[in-house]
Each structure stands twice: as structure tokens, then as C-alpha cells.
């Protein structure tokens, strides 16, 4: 029986976020197509590119620990993405659509931020400095994306949604 230690927990959590990132990469084009404002479309497209790089970084982290890159079903991201799809359908053509899409996207970013924060800390504990560097790069991208979405919501999507009341 394999020991259920921090090393194992690190590998399992890496599989969780690897699964999640690949799901997110599939979902972002739908979000970009659905978004009404060109700015939000561009933000989703930009983050799709970043997400592809993040998947590669995760593959590098799997390499560092000498384990096969594989995903493990993440129920959390399934649920968060399903909520995003719901908004896409239910708010199609509505003035509040973009505000809703941003809220859904921020739920994704926050899930990722908690995962990468934990993984980075565990990589420090496991003395894997290159993994720490890679995980931190992604953590910074997710945080920046979250912040950019807040700015977009404040500058246009929330006021647009409110004005339509």
C-alpha cells in the first residue's frame, strides 16, 4: 500500500488541477463566444492562451516528481463550470449576461488560486524549488486574471447590467 503522505497528497492535488485546467481550456472558447463586450471576449481569449501554458507547466511539475501527467476528476470544477453554462443559457441576450459570465469566471479563478496556493506551499515543504517557481508563475497569472475581471466588471459589465433594470 502506498503511504498517504504529503508527497501523495501533492501528486493527487496536481492531478485534480490538471483535470480542472483541461476542462477550463475547453470551456473558455464557449465563454469567449458568449460574451457580449469585445473586452470580455478578449479577456477570455487571453486567458485561454495562458491556460494552455499552465497545462504545460503542470506537465513539467509532473516531470519534476517523476510521475505520469494524468487527471483525476474534479467535481468542484465540474460544478463551477456547469454554473457558467447555466448563465450562458439563461442570460442569453440579456444586459446582465457579461456580469454573470464574469462572476462565473471569477469562481473558476478562485478555485484555481486556492489549489495553486496549496500546491506551491507543499512544493516548498517537499523542497522542489523548480516546482515552486512554476506553480507560483501560474498562481500570479490566476490572481492577475481575477483582478482584471473585477476591473472589467466595475468599468462596464456591472453598470450595463444595472442600467437595463
The binding site for Fe ion (CB under 5 A) comprises: 16, 51, 54, 74, 76, 112, 142
Closer to Fe ion at the Cβ: 27 or 51?
A: 51
Minimum separation from the CB atom of position 3 to Fe ion (A)? 22
Q: How far is the CB of 144 from Fe ion (least distance, A)?
A: 10
Q: Is 90 exposed, middle or buried (0-12, 13-18, 19+ CB in 10 A)?
A: exposed
Pick 12 or 90: Cβ nearer Fe ion: 12
Q: How far is CA 76 from the centre of its chain?
A: 12
Q: Which is nearer to Fe ion, 98 or 109 (CB)?
A: 109
d(C-alpha 119, C-alpha 106), whole Å: 20
Q: Which residues neighbour 46 within 8 Å (Cβ) at sequence distance 6 or greater?
A: none
Q: Which residue's Cβ lies closest to Fe ion?
A: 74
Amino acid at each position: 500500500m502506498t503511504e498517504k503522505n504529503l508527497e501523495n497528497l501533492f501528486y493527487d492535488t496536481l492531478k485534480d488541477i490538471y483535470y480542472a485546467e483541461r476542462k477550463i481550456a475547453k470551456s473558455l472558447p464557449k465563454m469567449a463566444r458568449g460574451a457580449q463586450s469585445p473586452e470580455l471576449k478578449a479577456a477570455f481569449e487571453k486567458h485561454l492562451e495562458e491556460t494552455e501554458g499552465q497545462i504545460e507547466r503542470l506537465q513539467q511539475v509532473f516531470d519534476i516528481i517523476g510521475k505520469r501527467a494524468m487527471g483525476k476528476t474534479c467535481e468542484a470544477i465540474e460544478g463551477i463550470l456547469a454554473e457558467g453554462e447555466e448563465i450562458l443559457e439563461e442570460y442569453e441576450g440579456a444586459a446582465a449576461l457579461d456580469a454573470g459570465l464574469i462572476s462565473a469566471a471569477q469562481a473558476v479563478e478562485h478555485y484555481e488560486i486556492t489549489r495553486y496556493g496549496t500546491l506551491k506551499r507543499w512544493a516548498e515543504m517537499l523542497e522542489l524549488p523548480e516546482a515552486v517557481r512554476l506553480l507560483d508563475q501560474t498562481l500570479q497569472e490566476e490572481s492577475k486574471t481575477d483582478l482584471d475581471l473585477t476591473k472589467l466588471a466595475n468599468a462596464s459589465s456591472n453598470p450595463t447590467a444595472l442600467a437595463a433594470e
